[in-house]
Amino acid sequence: MIATEALEAFVPYVERKLQEGERLMHLTRHILGIFQGEAGGKQFRRYLSENGHKADAQINVLLEAIDLVKHHQRKG
């Protein structure tokens, strides 16, 4: 759960950088492995990889990826 909390604290920074014109993939590529070996980690990486590179990707992509992990952790 600590990784999830860290990412939720990261969200305001990402929102600010997106407003400044930064692309989501440039911000999220550094956190792709944060859930390595945890339930939902593969889905988190896949979702960000498939959706974060799009030119119009916004904060909802990161939030949805985090929700995928939370869902898998509740199931397991």
When divided into structural domains, the chain yields a total of 1
19 burial via Cβ count (<10 Å: 0-12, 13-18, 19+)? exposed
Question: In the structure, what pLDDT confidence band is assigned to residue 76 with cuts at 50, 70 and 90?
Answer: low
CA distance 4 to 35: 9
Helices (DSSP H) in the chain: which residue ranges? 2-19, 24-28, 41-51, 59-75
Residue 31: CATH number of its domain: 1.20.120.1460
User: pLDDT tens digits for 1-48?
Assistant: 689 899 999 999 999 999 999 999 999 999 999 999 999 999 999 999
Mean pLDDT of 42-71: 96
Question: In the structure, what pLDDT confidence band is assigned to residue 75 with cuts at 50, 70 and 90?
Answer: confident
**What is the model's pTM?**
0.92
Structural domain boundaries enclosing 60: 2-75
